[in-house]
Amino acid sequence: MNQEAPILKTEGLKISYGSTPAINGISIEIRPNRVTAVIGPSGCGKSTLLRTFNRMNDFIPNIKTEGQVWFRGQNMFHPKVDPVNIRKHVGMVFQRPNPFPKSIYKNITWGPTIHSYAGNLDELVEKSLKRAALWDEVKSRLHDSAFDLSGGQQQRLCIARTIAMNPDVILMDEPCSALDPKATARIEDLIGELRSRYTIVIVTHNMQQAARISDETLFLYEGNLIESGKTKALFTNPTKQQTEDYITGRFG
Amino acid sequence: MNTWRYRRQALFLWMCRALTLLALIILGSLILHIAKEGVSTLSLDFLHRFPSRFPHKAGLKSALYGTLWIMCLTALIAVPFGIATAIYLEEYSTKNRFSRWIQINITNLAGIPSIVYGLLGLTVFVRYLNMGQSLWAGALTLSLLVLPIIVIASQEAIRAVPNPIREAGYALGAHPWQVILCQVVPAALPGIMTGVILALSRAIGESAPLIMIGALSYVAFVPEGPGDAFTVLPVQIFNWASRPQVSFHAIAASGIIVLLCVLFTMNLIAVLIRHKFQRYK
Ligand SMILES: Nc1ncnc2c1ncn2[C@@H]1O[C@H](COP(=O)(O)OP(=O)(O)O)[C@@H](O)[C@H]1O
Ligand SMILES: [Mg+2]
């Protein structure tokens, strides 16, 4: 195993919606500056797991979380921890592109502005859009509505908006599921470029995508962690029958 | 069988068309009647004159100013309360019995006849709070009248803001109040503004509650502050129309034309606002 300290870690994480369990005791470690893919059939708890890492589950009434989650060694559910502070360091890209109904420029500057960003906003916008591989397409129309962009461009704008906050971790929940293959390929390339700077945790139901872009993979099934490890090993040499069945497409 | 279904559909369509046409004809003939009666006495001068006991000398000046004052004061009072209530109900209150109870009451308030608000205004503002027949009393009474309309329209506009926008805000580490103030309310603003304008146009067309609280119909001065007595367009029109002399009926008709123009302008603004922001929806 790798000796590097994990940036995110869970121990005995149990989550239920009302009385319906969604995650049944998962202990995982996510290492910095890697791409970790979370795979599994739909409804197995991938989104629920991902949304604990920036405490977005806080907004769901009747949700119950047990167990421990650490971010950089700090207990994320400690009563003194402000979830708002966590979300500054752990960004999120959603399944459907959800730009704000504002200009491209304002989409990027809003987050930093509310946290009283002191630097030059123009430079920040340029840097973030360049990192999200969107700059060349939008540099001449930064003040147009974000809704004028295509779906794939909107999703890259959402990534740029997350990058502008300079987070440590970027969570992505099936970021390509609403996009066509060409836009998907662009996002996959982008994830490859971002892995050196950020820790990325990506949920995907597309196994080829997980195999292409991730360093490590977690396989979830019915709220349980079945198998985890290096993506290559997990895909070429799964140790569990369920994993093999899933990655060879026998179910899910 | 299919032809029967087709015929039934066609029949229904024609019925709808006929009824719409009937409504339009009635409305059109009313407007035509008013226009015929009132256009001859309509002039710029008519807008510049104070009321008088001689119809050819009477004008709408004090009523126009009164309406303007009432509209601004009502907006000033009702809009902040209305939007804040809508924000509270939609974004903060947990959906429990109490909030459902409030919701039902607001919906019911929107359906109460305006004369009842007039009685309430007379008792509470005019008498109990000693405001007399002032603009304040009128504006507060009309604020009560339009508050439920503004609350309901704003709630609908806020509810129509897609949840992913809120999630995007929270995911950037924003506090709830920042998400509400910087994302949800601006996105809902066109809807809110439309509701506000429609509510205000309801308010300026109301005469019953203002007559109830004792708005005067003979005001030979322009109100200079919210403590002054006042009259408004519909009250002035009502007064002229209820006089026996025919020549007063003519200037009542002219007053109606002016009121219709004001209402039409406000509705036009509402449509324009909705149109301008539509692409963000
Ligand atoms: N807001 C919710 N309320 C109740 N149950 C939910 C909610 N969200 C998800 N679930 C349930 O929790 C389980 C896991 O869901 P989710 O984490 O969304 O799965 P995945 O992302 O892997 O498709 C599913 O059975 C789903 O029905
Ligand atoms: Mg999901």
CA angle A237, A242, A245 (to 5 degrees): 75
**Residue B165: which of A98, A162, A165 has the nearest Cβ?**
A98
Query: If you measure from the C-alpha of residue B160 to the centroid of ligand 1, how many angstroms do you get, rounded to a whole number?
Result: 24
Tell me yes or no: is domain A8-247 CATH 3.40.50.300: yes
Q: Domain B44-279 class?
A: mainly alpha
The band of A80, judged by pLDDT with boundaries at 50, 70 and 90, is very high
Q: Which of B5-9, B78-82, B210-214, B272-276 has the highest mean pLDDT?
A: B78-82
Q: Quick one: which atom of ligand 1 is closest to the CA of A45?
A: 17
Query: If you measure from the C-alpha of residue A59 to the centroid of ligand 1, how many angstroms do you get, rounded to a whole number?
Result: 14
Residue A249 falls in which region: left (phi positive, over 0), alpha (psi -120 to 50) or beta: left
CA angle A204, A145, B174 (to 5 degrees): 60
The band of A1, judged by pLDDT with boundaries at 50, 70 and 90, is very low
* Tens-place pLDDT, residues A87-125: 999 999 999 999 999 999 999 999 999 999 999 999 999
Distance CA A216, CA A233 (A): 9
CB atoms near residue B10 (< 10 Å): 10
Which ligand sits nearest to residue A43's alpha carbon?
A: 1
Q: Provide the ipTM.
A: 0.92
* Beta carbons of B81 and B196 less than 8 angstroms apart: no
Check residue B50 and report its DSSP letter.
P
**pLDDT exceeds 80 at position A35:** yes
Check residue A195 and report its DSSP letter.
T
* Beta carbons of A112 and A121 less than 8 angstroms apart: yes
The band of B94, judged by pLDDT with boundaries at 50, 70 and 90, is confident
Distance CA A161, CA A171 (A): 13
Check residue A190 and report its DSSP letter.
H
Weakest mean pLDDT among A118-122, A179-183, A196-200, B54-58 = B54-58
The domain spans of chain B are: 2-41, 44-279
Phi then psi for residue A179, to 5 deg, are: -115, 160
* B178 in A contact zone (CB under 8 Å): yes
**pLDDT exceeds 80 at position A4:** no
pLDDT more than 70, % of chain B = 98
CB atoms near residue B101 (< 10 Å): 10
* Beta carbons of A205 and A42 less than 8 angstroms apart: yes
**Residue B173: which of A59, A96, A111 has the nearest Cβ?**
A111
* Tens-place pLDDT, residues A133-155: 999 999 999 999 999 999 999 99
**pLDDT exceeds 70 at position B230:** yes
Substitution target from B94, B166, B172, B179 for chain A, most A beta carbons within 10 A: B172
A178, HSE (Cβ side, Cα atoms, 13 Å): 16
Single out the residue of A88, A89, A77, A92 nearest to residue A13, CA to CA: A77
Mean pLDDT of the region B256-274 = 90
Q: Which of A13, A14, A17, A53 to mutate to test the pocket of ligand 1 (most atoms within 8 A of CB)?
A: A17
